[in-house]
Amino acid sequence: MKERRGAPDGFFEAEAAGLAWLRDANGGPRVVGVHDVAPDRISLERVTETRPDAAAASAFGRALAVMHDAGAAAFGAPPDGWGGPVFIGSRRQPCDPAAAWGAFYAEQRVRPFLGPAVEAGNLSTADVEVVHHACDLIAAGAFDDDDRPARLHGDLWSGNVLWAQGAVVLIDPAAHGGHRETDLAMLALFGCPFLDRVLAAYDVEHALRPGWEDRVPLHQLNPLAVHAAGHGSAYGAALADAARRTLALV
């Protein structure tokens, strides 16, 4: 049971909708079950955790590719049956469907967090200009490709990847339609056991696009911006560095 008095409107309902949407991807990863949801709480299936292992990591990589390929109605689309927004940690993220990935990502997943990061003293005036410059490039379509909108977990750091009895169980999503490389970049940001196995198996199921490793900083702008808004100046510096590396791609 997770409880939060005074939770923002839709906080737990968005989580439940995201879990259901991810679970609907036939052949995707195991997703924690929801017993009950209310405006101030959510009751979830209990998961008994075990040690990570290579076989489970490979199975997870294949299943993650399948989940991504289940797709979404558009970039920025919320889970089916949910009107949005979704939440990453305690922060609200808009889910306004967009025709192109870059415009969605820059305007809905990076820029909303820059003002709070500056106000918190975690992002300097000079560095925020660098990030805005990167966002201008992204929004203009510099990194758009022909990948269709993927069904993303949206907050796929290692803390939301539970290892349980030879399988991975996903929890606490900020689910939406996005680019599949964003979930993979999030896995890499804070470390994931057997990540090389996860990525190798993913690549077999759905080949990664050439140059994907160079684009990891681009796809880490969202989580770094979120953390810069509330978790210290080290994340502001990391965000600016990722923005500079993004600009260097063109």
| Longest CA pairwise span in the chain (Å) | 48
Q: How far is CA 1 from CA 30, 45, 55, 154, 235, in A?
A: 19, 9, 30, 22, 30
* CA gap 167, 57 in Å, rounded: 8
Instruction: Name residue 168's beta-bridge partners.
Output: 163
The token duo for 186 is 């999030």
Rounded to whole angstroms, the Cα distance separating 212 from 18 reads: 26
Cβ(32)–Cβ(169) below 8 Å? yes
Tell which residue, 8, 23, 36, 39, has the closest CA to residue 173: 23
Catalytically annotated residues: 155
